Amino acid sequence: MFKFGLIFYLLTKIQSEIKVCTDACNCFFNQIDEDLKIWTDGIHRVDFEKAAGIRNTVHYQIIDGHIYRSEKCLFGQRCKGIEKFLIEIADSISNVEFIINVYDHPIFYRDPSQSVPLLTFSKPDNRNHYHIMYPAWTFWQGGPAIQTHPSGLGRWDRLRDEMLTAGDKIPWNEKIDKGFFRGSRTSKTRDPLVLLSRKKPHLVDAAYTKNQAWKSIEDTLGHEPADIVSLPDHCQFKYLFNFRGVAASFRLKHLFLCNSLVFHVVSNGGDWLEFFYKRLIPWQHYIPVSPDLSDVEQLLEWAQLNDTEAQRIAIQGKQFIENFLTLESIQCYWKELLTRISRLTTYEVTRNTTLVEIKLHRHNEL
Ligand code: UDP
């Protein structure tokens, strides 16, 4: 048994080492330090050209407060979700250019020992992935389209409020005392929880839903697809599961706002990150679950037997995301990231006339 003894040790150690952000603006700059540390000698034109040579990426320039972009963006809504933040900061940063990957998955450069200054929204937490993370488009628009949000999950500020309201409506002791997960089979890492739910429905309610790629019941592990459950409705349950999908799943930040306890399944070979993940601390903000889920039953049992402790972690997680992951902190992140890239760039950025100017109004509304 690890079991509960180890958990108590971890809880005590973590409580004594808590390092909290004090300022929403710079809370996540630790990730910028980490992503840019290999570029201490500067980003040279040859480095930039390597990133620019990768197919289906998007080239941006910000010059004298104007934003220019490759004419074609593979996913138009995603580029708009990025440009919302560029528009807000363009006047306040030095000239800069950068290449963005708008796919879910990072684009691996042919030779992994070579680094490329390519911006991507998610990457695995291990040393072979040099990409530079940016805050995903979905904080504003272009997020996954599901029945409850047919034009895509978007507007983090609005969904945050909806989630907080839903979380406040159901007191902790009225939540259903079970683990919960709804989502599609974008990664097989989710299978063990769905199988456990079929075997022990009193412990976990986890089922696969349909996404656009669904072809047959094979894609929902041999069962008919479950109905979609809106994110605010997740708040009825006490323990909410997050897994990687194709890359990091957008659901994680929402789950915290329910005032429920988040069980975050860490992936094999390094957790799939977004720019804010490294500030989330296991046992302080969430319960870490091993990739094969071998410990999940014991962890759920621990939470059920230690309700006060479980609630305390749930509240800490909620407060952290509520206070620090805001549209303001995302804008600060973009500004710091591009300012540092501009400083590291060793050549003069001059207007590339193949790019088109992005002229949108400030506070571009959906
Ligand atoms: N989602 C939801 N209710 C559901 C299924 C999915 O709210 O019943 C949300 C989910 O939280 C995520 C998005 O839809 O933000 C896409 O989920 P999916 O599992 O399809 O893909 P993922 O991006 O997690 O791999």
Prediction pTM value: 0.93
Residue 116 Cα, ligand 1 centroid: separation in angstroms?
A: 30
pLDDT for res 366: 44
- Phi-psi sector, 238: left (phi>0), alpha (psi -120 to 50), beta: alpha
Q: Give 306-354 pLDDT, tens digit per residue.
A: 999 999 999 999 999 999 999 999 999 999 999 999 999 999 999 999 9
Task: Check 104, 111, 219, 271 and give the catalytic one.
Answer: 104
Give the angle subtended at the CA of 147 by the CAs of 319 and 256, to the nearest 5°. 10
pLDDT of 105 over the 60 cut: yes
Which atom of ligand 1 is found nearest the CA of 226?
8
- Please state which CATH class domain 150-324 belongs to: alpha beta
The answer to whether residues 304 and 279 touch, using CB atoms and an 8 Å cutoff, is no
Residue 60 Cα, ligand 1 centroid: separation in angstroms?
A: 29
CATH 3.40.50 occupies which residues in the chain?
A: 150-324
Binned at pLDDT 50, 70 and 90, residue 109 comes out as low
Secondary structure (3-state) at 297: helix
For residue 265, the cross-strand partners are 289
Residue 182 Cα, ligand 1 centroid: separation in angstroms?
A: 7
pLDDT for res 1: 47
pLDDT for res 112: 59
pLDDT of 225 over the 70 cut: yes
